[in-house]
Amino acid sequence: MNSQELPDFARALVVVAHPDDAEFGMAGTVALWSDRGVEVTYVICTDGAAGAGDPEVDLARLPEIRQEEQREAAAVLGVREIHFLGHSDGGLRVTDDLRRELVRLIRLHRPDRVVCQNAVRNYQSIFGNHPDHLAAGQATIEAIYPYARNPYAYPELVEQGLQPYSVRELLVTGTESPDYFVDVTSTLERKFAALACHRSQHPPGVDFRPRVMERLAAAGASRGMAYAESFRRLSAA
């Protein structure tokens, strides 16, 4: 895209591994969507208990703290509903249970568009290869196809009234070859405000903004955008 997103859809589901992943990966885009009437729902797969940037944080309360921070960040972006799946931070795996949970949420919310993390190892940067991110991406893609649309997959969900559903489109963040760019210049400060809510993850005295701005500027440079978030776009219909 060479301009700000003008959404032609009503509902989006964002699936990520950890609290703060959505803010780093797609907060500017989410803010644009929310401002233009899209109902955005978050799914956070892990409890976020495996680490913190603040050495003074109460580790015993870290999962609770991270949920609180995620709710604050989501509110900044206009996201009203969050599902915390509570899987082990650092131990997320593509299991039948995880796929079933994601299929249930896809059938429940019936999103036009799903956003997830990259499921394929990225050799451009070591930091794009957290095992939890890869697992969350792979499980989401599998949930979209073939499971969510298959009437014979997870019949217990059909018995609960959750009918098969086909997602229209998938956006994948963190890929080596993005082909879909959203100009987030107008929502950059909202992105930073949402990221700042994740206080437990920021080492005292360290400013995360220059690193984020550098990455967004690099993504937008080839598209004539000051700052852009980038994705791989797949039709799933």
Q: Which residue segments constitute the domains of the chain, with CATH numbers given?
A: 11-235 (3.40.50.10320)
Tell which phi-psi region holds residue 100, choosing left (phi > 0), alpha (psi between -120 and 50) or beta.
alpha
Q: pLDDT > 90: what percent of the chain?
A: 87
pLDDT of residue 6: 62
pLDDT reading at 154 higher than 90: yes
Q: Count, in order, helices (H) and strands (E) of the chain.
A: 7, 7
Question: Would you give the distance in Å from CA 63 to the centre of its chain?
Answer: 18
Rounded distance between C-alpha atoms, residue 102 and residue 107, angstroms = 9
pLDDT of residue 5: 61
pLDDT reading at 59 higher than 50: yes
Residues 6+ positions from 120 with CB-CB distance below 8 Å: 134, 175, 176
Rounded distance between C-alpha atoms, residue 198 and residue 174, angstroms = 20
pLDDT tens readout for residues 90-132: 999 999 999 999 999 999 999 999 999 999 988 888 877 899 9
Q: What is the mean pLDDT of the chain?
A: 94
For the ranges 31-45, 74-88, 119-133, 140-154, the lowest mean pLDDT is seen at: 119-133
pLDDT of residue 4: 56
pLDDT of residue 147: 98
Nearest of 5, 43, 9 to residue 169 by alpha carbon: 9
pLDDT of residue 122: 84
Q: Which residue has the tokens 């990259």?
A: 118
In one letter, which amino acid is 160?
Q
Average pLDDT over residues 32-50: 97
pLDDT of residue 124: 83
Residue 26 near residue 229 (C-beta atoms within 8 A): yes
Q: Which residue has the tokens 């593509």?
A: 94
Greater confidence (118 vs 3) lies with 118
pLDDT of residue 2: 44
Greater confidence (151 vs 5) lies with 151
Determine the 3-state secondary structure of 97 from DSSP: helix
Handedness of CA 47, 208, 23, 189 (dihedral sign): positive
Rounded distance between C-alpha atoms, residue 174 and residue 77, angstroms = 20
pLDDT of residue 8: 84
